[in-house]
Amino acid sequence: MLRSMKMAALAAGLIIAVASVARAEDPATADDTARFLAGLAPSEGSPLTPLTRDPAWQHHARFLDGAFAQLEQRQLARVRAWADTNLAAPKPTMFYFFSGPDFVYADAFYGKASTYVMAALEPPGSMPDITRLPRGSIDSALGNIEHSLGTILNFSFFITKHMKVDLHVGQISGTLPLLFVFMERSGKSIRQVTPVTLDEEGQVHAGSEAARPNAPRGVRILFSGKDGGEKTLYYFSTDLSNSGVKSSGFLKFCAGLAPGNSLLKSASYLLHSGSFTTTRDFLLANSATIIQDDSGIPLADYNSRKWRFFPFGRYAGPISEFPGRYQQSYAELFRRAQPIDFGIGYRWRTYESNVLLAVRLGPDEPPPADATASTDAPPPPRPHPRRPKPPPPEPRRGFFWFR
């Protein structure tokens, strides 16, 4: 009897040991990986849970807790309130070109979208298996994420020159880790992550190994919000210039999801250039609404008989990094602007920021009475308060494209 009991105990111990090893070797889910990178506790029983006892991860979690709490109070809650007030019937699709990994503002402005299409030059990277990384590299990667998020948490935009360095350093690289952080900190749950490419006809293919050399490479993320409804995010690394989109298939892919709502923010005035007219014309033809700052589509390129304009904030002109981009028509339009209580774009301070909501008129709607600068917005109840002009923003000088 005693021998039988010992044998049973030994067998039970072996089963527990084997189960523990198997659990340790199981890869973490995409959602647990995203939560870990976002400084949020993984699900119970996740192989990443032991790593959350590391002081470096706990410091990372506290840093992001504080940073996103401030961002929510100062920016995101106000952006969502503005969108709820001013966007009557958003489309299911949201386009955000020149976005980098900035999901947080895409969600704040167009939180009711079910399909998000984001595109920029930065590579998507791949989902890391954190359990297989050396411990020292995890600590370094968490610090790199914090550094990469610095400018958007403080100024509302990424600096492309910095991202070219930040997103290629270490074993956790690309835009995907930052997308994970923004999505989890926006209350999303990630269900599936799939690498994808586009062919010349805009068709989506899983994987990227067999893709042609210049094909847009990206990632498709299936996720859900607090209501549990399934949504999709596409992020593509692609060249949006005329030569880049000529045969990439990217705009054909987007056309299959149009019409959509579009966001243009801190877009380096690229759409003011003759080198980006194809992308500009696509957005004008396939957007039901466009939310932009003055770095987006020039006001002169809108057909004022097809669009109604609602200006918010103050147009102070471009910052010194972008000389020659001042728009007199923008200045005239914004004389009748309503105030806003948040800041976006390169003029990131609230009392210097401008937001233009352009709404495409339906086929049966008459053009605005004043088609050159139309707005139904009443004048603000009082002029913007005069304040001493502060010093210019902190981002480094001497580079071309920063977002």
Confidence (pLDDT) at 151: 65
Rounded (5°) CA angle 64-67-72: 115
| Torsion of the alpha carbons at 120, 71, 127 and 265, rounded to the nearest 10 | -10
Query: Can you tell me the distance from the alpha carbon of 106 to that of 27, in angstroms, rounded to the nearest whole number?
Result: 30
Confidence (pLDDT) at 134: 82
- Give all strands (DSSP E) within 273-313, no chain letters: 287-292, 307-313
> What is this structure's pTM?
0.83
Confidence (pLDDT) at 135: 72
User: What is the residue-level pLDDT of the chain in tens, covering all 403 positions?
Assistant: 444 444 444 443 433 333 333 344 578 999 999 999 999 999 999 999 999 999 999 999 999 999 999 999 999 999 999 999 999 888 999 999 999 999 999 999 999 999 999 999 999 998 888 988 887 788 888 988 888 787 666 554 444 444 444 444 456 778 999 999 999 999 999 999 999 999 999 999 998 665 787 899 999 999 999 888 999 999 999 999 999 999 899 999 999 999 999 999 999 999 999 999 999 999 999 999 999 999 999 999 999 999 999 999 999 999 999 999 999 999 999 999 999 999 998 988 888 999 999 999 988 778 876 644 444 443 333 333 333 334 344 333 332 333 4
User: Structural domain tally of the chain?
Assistant: 1
Chain segment 213-248, per-residue pLDDT in tens: 789 999 999 999 988 899 999 999 999 999 999 989
Of 266, 33, 235, 203, residue with least CA distance to 115:
235
**Across-strand partners of 198?**
204
Q: Is residue 264 part of a domain?
A: yes
Range(s) of the domain holding residue 165: 32-360
Query: Residue 273: helix, strand or coil by DSSP?
Result: coil
Rounded (5°) CA angle 70-76-82: 140
Chain segment 154-172, per-residue pLDDT in tens: 554 444 444 444 444 456 7
Q: Is residue 86 part of a domain?
A: yes
The strands making up 189-198's β-sheet, listed across from edge to edge, are 204-206, 189-198, 217-224, 230-237, 115-120, 93-97, 260-264, 287-292, 354-360, 307-313
Q: Is residue 367 part of a domain?
A: no
Q: Is residue 22 part of a domain?
A: no
Alpha helices in 38-159 (DSSP H): 55-71, 77-86, 103-109, 135-155
Q: Is residue 117 part of a domain?
A: yes
